[in-house]
Structure 1
Amino acid sequence: MRSQTATMADVAREAQVSPTTAARVIHNRGYVSDENRKRVLEAVESTGYRPNLQARSLRMQRSYSLGLVLSSARENPFYTHISHAIRTAASDRGFSMLTVNHSYSPEAEVNGIKQFLEHGVDATILCHALENQNIQPLIQAGIPVIQVERHDIEQAYFVAIDPDPGMRAAVKTLADEGHRRVAFIGARATGLKDGGPGHAEQRRAEAFQQAVSLYGLDEQDCPVVLGEYFPRSPNDILPGRRLATMLLDDHRCAVTAIIAGSDILAAGILQVLYERGLKVPSDISLIGYDDSIAQFLSPALSSIAQPYLAIGDSVMAFVEEAVGQDTSSAKTRERSVSTSLVLRDSIGPAPGSF
């Protein structure tokens, strides 16, 4: 029978296990046999047990809450996927999440950090901070900070995302289809305030150039076109449109394939190709990056996928290691996760190659 006041002892009694076993299952700590785990979970459901988070926080001297800073969830669905992955990983481990989406507003970021401090978060995840000076109050308070993809805070833990595996697979796939003229359209490192996307986007362009060399393509035939990542205003055209127009108007660059630095850029590129009567993939092949909206475009876009689940798990591994430790003198630690290529309908043979 369900009860609004069911206790862990009630769960243990219902499952016919010890309170220690029930606690291990409920808090996801320690070994429990599959049979006992199933019985405890069924007992949790039948009794309506809900953990007393306030009591647990007082007992453990932890808030079991985390702060998450996002750059631009409104403009780029990549951040929505990142948020979902980290929230899910946190929830699975008994943590709640406070989120600030600064959208490149220093004031929004400062106010969000103040809320994190007021709620006593156990750690803060940055994807990505706008101004590092706004993060200093967290560092000074001894709250662990974990950076995702971009690492420029000395005291922070770092989840690195390796673009090379996905980019190599993308270039190889195109080369195998006969493409010798492949362009990369991406974000300029100085495209946004305070350095903007910076190293992460620069690494994508470098990964493209390295893959071009690896698979024997001529760098002169594989241009890199960089520009702003997001529209300057809500009514502005997509940057992918502007950059694709620049590329296609340069008749020296008769490319047969394009790799975009994000799915958002790829969406703008698709619009230009459609307006010019170029069909994907029969006239030109197109690959996105992030695998955020690629499957919803037409044609369904092949994309270099971010390892969202692995990012969430890596972040939470740092949280569980760092919480309760003195991080003021800790050396920066790093975990790396890898991209991969998801194939859909936007890659075909280079025109005239077969």
Structure 2
Amino acid sequence: MAASADRRRARILDVVHELGTVRVADLAARLDMPTVTIRRDVAALAEAGRLRRSHGSVALPDPGAHGPAGPAGTVGGAGGAALLGAAGQGAAGVPDGRGRVIGMLVPTIGWYFDEIIDGARSAATAAGARLVLGISPHEARDDRGQIARTLESGVDGLLLTPNRLPDGPAEEEEEEEESDWLGDLPVPAVLVERRAAPGSAAAGLDAVGSDHRHGVLLALRHLAGLGHRSVLLAARRDTWTAHEVRAGYADAVRRLGLEPRPTLDLHHGGGPLARTDPERVADQLALGAEEGVRAVLVHDGRDAIQLPPLLRARGLRVPEDIALVSYDDAFAALTTPPLTAVAPPKRAVGAVALDLLLRRLGPADLPAHHIGLLPTLTVRSSCGALPGQD
């Protein structure tokens, strides 16, 4: 049976009393416990003023220091119960983030992540915390270095969107190896729009993201309800969202009994996030229409909004000849015709991730959370259905 939180924290304090200063990773090894568990206990002890954290190491607090739970001392008995029972929340259930600095690392600013950042920023402001933003570009593949530089600024916790993408069994094994170091971070971290490989050291991290597979199922189920038995997927392949959309398409086609079609690859080389060629995409959609495909789901929205006039130039009308659904709803309503669109809950992802991280920084002994927020489908005229028809 796993040791109770009180006993674990008492053992942690015993080791720190003995050694003076010790790295979190060494502490976990000495106590033969998962690093993520020790990190949570250390955070609770530091919150209570019983330990002092500094860049991956812990030590006893300065003499005379007092934490929020009173004078420094060993956790146990009623004192430990009080520590576990403290929710660390402010008014109306908002976590108390006063004095907290949260580092947020994203692969890009613009389009998709702008809304996620905005959601996290709003939640941080409401909690009294400060958000510090960093960029680790898709092209750089330098997550580890970027995270190290962010940690040097003295952040209390991290919202992370690593770049690594699985694209098959070999890549998934490589991703597991490369993500192991994420499980040994010196501060609590929440993965945002990512989830670590099962079985990896990072799998114990909290994760908040959109359930893109559910979003694809919503789109294909709607099109199937309109009588389409074959739906083409036109998708990028250079982002995590694209990977999940492609996997969701395979799942949805099987679940709905649709005729599977090869995915039209919108990424045509030139590195991650290279611009697609909308003329080429329109040509291939026109070819698919000649083969009897009359419905398409397009990821992402930037490609979807360019297609109606290009298809019209090829003698194909939306929705009369091709039903078109966009996987993103940022500007889908502004096109002619307005596009039916799947909307990932981007702002909510940022807000929930920030909220979860602040709770992780509190004294409560929370289990790891893997949270999938469901996208929504807004029906407009581009698929031939009336708005609101499902």
TM interval, short-chain normalised: 0.5 to 0.7
The two structures have a TM-score, normalised by structure 2, of 0.60
1:1-354 to 2 correspondence within 5 Å?
Answer: 29-30=90-91, 57=99, 64-74=100-110, 77-106=111-140, 112-129=146-163, 140=184, 142-152=186-196, 153-188=202-237, 191=238, 197-198=239-240, 200-219=241-260, 222-228=261-267, 238-239=276-277, 241-249=279-287, 253-270=291-308, 272-323=310-361, 332-348=368-384
- What whole-Å deviation, never above 9, does each CA across 1:11-64 have from its counterpart, x for those lacking one? xxxxxxxxxxxxxxxx971469xxxxxxxxxxxxxxxxxxxx9xx63xxxxxx2
Partner of residue 8, structure 1: none
The SS at the match of 2:133 is strand
Going from structure 1 to structure 2, the CA distance change for 1:229 and 1:244 (only over 3 Å counts) comes to same
Shift of 1:286: 0.8
- Which whole-Å CA distance do the structure 1 matches of 2:107 and 2:321 have between them? 35
Going from structure 1 to structure 2, the CA distance change for 1:30 and 1:104 (only over 3 Å counts) comes to closer
- Which whole-Å CA distance do the structure 2 matches of 1:127 and 1:141 have between them? 14
Return 246-255 or 96-105, whichever deviates more.
246-255
- Which whole-Å CA distance do the structure 2 matches of 1:230 and 1:307 have between them? 29
- What whole-Å deviation, never above 9, does each CA across 1:240-276 have from its counterpart, x for those lacking one? 5544433433576431111012212313434532432
Shift of 1:174: 1.6
**Count of equivalent residues:** 280
The SS at the match of 2:249 is helix
The SS at the match of 2:158 is strand
What's the Cα RMSD here? 3.7
Shift of 1:116: 2.1
The SS at the match of 1:346 is helix
- Which whole-Å CA distance do the structure 1 matches of 2:267 and 2:379 have between them? 27
User: Residue 213 of structure 1 aligns to which amino acid in structure 2?
Assistant: R
Shift of 1:86: 1.6
- Which whole-Å CA distance do the structure 1 matches of 2:193 and 2:279 have between them? 26
Shift of 1:233: 9.5
The SS at the match of 2:351 is helix
CA contact (8 A) 1:287 1:346 kept: yes
Going from structure 1 to structure 2, the CA distance change for 1:311 and 1:142 (only over 3 Å counts) comes to same
Shift of 1:215: 3.2
The SS at the match of 1:204 is helix
The SS at the match of 2:108 is coil
Going from structure 1 to structure 2, the CA distance change for 1:253 and 1:160 (only over 3 Å counts) comes to farther
CA contact (8 A) 2:308 2:317 kept: no
Going from structure 1 to structure 2, the CA distance change for 1:177 and 1:161 (only over 3 Å counts) comes to same
The SS at the match of 2:114 is helix
- Which whole-Å CA distance do the structure 1 matches of 2:263 and 2:257 have between them? 17
The SS at the match of 2:381 is coil
The SS at the match of 2:128 is coil
Going from structure 1 to structure 2, the CA distance change for 1:218 and 1:66 (only over 3 Å counts) comes to same
Going from structure 1 to structure 2, the CA distance change for 1:31 and 1:264 (only over 3 Å counts) comes to closer
- Which whole-Å CA distance do the structure 1 matches of 2:178 and 2:230 have between them? 44
Unaligned runs of 5+ residues in structure 1 are: 1-26, 33-52, 58-63, 192-196, 350-354
- Which whole-Å CA distance do the structure 1 matches of 2:226 and 2:141 have between them? 49
Partner of residue 72, structure 2: none
User: Residue 299 of structure 1 aligns to which amino acid in structure 2?
Assistant: P
Partner of residue 39, structure 1: none
Going from structure 1 to structure 2, the CA distance change for 1:31 and 1:91 (only over 3 Å counts) comes to closer
CA contact (8 A) 2:289 2:322 kept: no
Partner of residue 7, structure 1: none
The two structures have a TM-score, normalised by structure 1, of 0.66
The SS at the match of 2:383 is coil
- What whole-Å deviation, never above 9, does each CA across 1:89-137 have from its counterpart, x for those lacking one? 2222112211123332438856743552233112211234359899888
- What whole-Å deviation, never above 9, does each CA across 1:281-318 have from its counterpart, x for those lacking one? 22211111132232233322211111124313320232
